[in-house]
Structure 1
């Protein structure tokens, strides 16, 4: 279908703007990630299932992860998570989800079927280290509001934080690096505390960054706030930011091209990050 965005709406015959920016009428367009602002009208997108507070374990025993997200019919009562190619592994004697990245692949993404508008969201992650490998923990809405932790390059002592409003990265001005201890060898709890007035990023329960809504304002009298404020899905992913098909600035951000001939890669056949658990605590009672 034709391309769509917040500024270019879909036609009536292909009314839904997918999360990838194309119009269509099928469930791949109108369900998870549907952009209401880029659709023919907001009601073209399926209703967003509201978050349920709880702790979710990513292990081999769970039956509430759908292994092929394209099969999802929109029923959040049946599945909590949707994902792409995945391996279930055991790390540190604890069950964990292996987010794998192989040469020529799109990596692995796991996304919640429900969305949260304000709350505490945590994930326990051990992230791969190496040039060009990017692991992310993100809150992402259909209108591309986004709050994130990102892990890349071969530095294991830092993580990147950022937030975006309606998909406008604004030159990555919102980005800020924070300290993490040996993120590739140890699991850490990464948390967003998101309220209508503020976003805080925490590592192992310790605040490492805070941004207020007022910090994002521009203009004196008629203020515009570049502050995420639409229901967002929880997403963990790994992908090749240092791939040959990526722009130079993205490859540079990720620490350079991926080494597909490293001893780690040759031994496993993939690079891997691991997710153990996710915890969601909504500040609002559904419906929003």
Structure 2
């Protein structure tokens, strides 16, 4: 997404007055200041269509703020109004998500700002006369002469509908995100190797003001898009909901020295946490990447360790199951092979028995042929029933088989009488 930087340097020279909502009660770079009240929970969400701001959580620094169907309404109805709220809690890295619709109107500025006591600052700024762009900006330690920090990005009609504007802030980088899409990233290294990187506990500020008010310097009026015409009031910025995720889990943040470095911040747990007025639940508009970035480093390490442990255990269980299954498969194969071999043996034995029976049957058939001579057609019933002795010669017609030489047409019946043939 391309940025837009069409702001003349002459105009930028007056922008120190634009950020009238930025101030500090005590600068820890110059003195010892009271501890900052920490948010103390992973996610704090408040829906302004269902809840109003509690004085314990939000400090209304300029009124009025009303509530309607669109949520919290920051309205300029007449000259001199600049409705603004500031959280009573601080976050030390994390995420801030706001569902909002900025106000229209020439010279009207809608903003969401993170600011620390030593004046580290991160901004979303919307110009009422420009319904196509949003300004992203940051400052470090109150140095508002870094005019090149501001970059404008195109947005699809922000004044006509609600969009999700999120800041994802860590010690390594800062992301400006619109509807889940990162439009800008500032790394710690790119910000003068951390010297210009916002890195100290910040509160959350929401507000609307007339940058085009005739009392403002001309440079501010030009930056705001021109003079404000109060005859066209009211001008309303609507905030539907806010979600804040604190990367730390302390109840207080204390500056350990005057360096303003994030390494010097001490996280304490000596007091009770802040009693919140919303729901301590994650936003449904968070991406997985945003949820992960919002977790403290220790929690990330624990999650990574648990996930690695679960994956490792799963691999071990899987390997063990594969090993057992392989052994079981081998055992089943051996059993099946034994069954197969047994069946093969039984089949072979059956075949051998069948072959033996066939052989015996053939032998019995051969034996019957050897002991009984075939019946001669010349023989009568006697010949069929009484075979000749094995040494007898076959009977020849006209000759007597007996040694006495009878040839009267009768044959000797082997001691059983004569029989005519």
**Contiguous gaps of at least 5 residues in structure 1:** 1-18, 22-28, 67-78, 218-222
- Over aligned residue pairs, what C-alpha RMSD do you find? 1.8
Q: Which has the higher helix share?
A: 2
Deviation of 1:171 after TM superposition, in Å, equals: 4.2
Structure 1 contact 132–254 (Cα < 8 Å) conserved: yes
Distance of aligned partners of 1:233 and 1:20 in 2 relative to their CA distance in 1, 3 Å threshold: closer
Q: Secondary structure at the match of 1:136?
A: strand
Superimposed CA distance per residue, residues 61-91 of structure 1 (whole angstroms, 9 cap, x where no aligned partner): 43x522xxxxxxxxxxxx1111131242324
Alignment match of 1:256 (pick from 226, 248, 254) = 226
TM-score, length of structure 2 as denominator length: 0.52
Distance 1:257 1:182 in 2: 22
Alignment match of 1:88 (pick from 59, 66, 72) = 66
TM-score, length of structure 1 as denominator length: 0.74
Q: Secondary structure at the match of 1:249?
A: helix
The equivalent of 2:28 in structure 1 is 36
Bigger Rg over Cα: 2
Distance 1:154 1:107 in 2: 17
The equivalent of 2:176 in structure 1 is 201
Number of matched pairs: 228
The equivalent of 1:56 in structure 2 is 46
Q: Which has the higher strand share?
A: 1
Moved over 4 A (4+): none
Alignment of structure 1 residues 74-223 onto 2, 5 Å: 79-83=56-60, 84-91=62-69, 94=70, 96-217=71-192
The equivalent of 2:54 in structure 1 is 65
Q: Secondary structure at the match of 2:221?
A: helix
Distance 2:67 2:194 in 1: 46
Distance 1:215 1:194 in 2: 15
**Contiguous gaps of at least 5 residues in structure 2:** 1-21, 253-266, 268-421
Structure 1 contact 60–88 (Cα < 8 Å) conserved: no
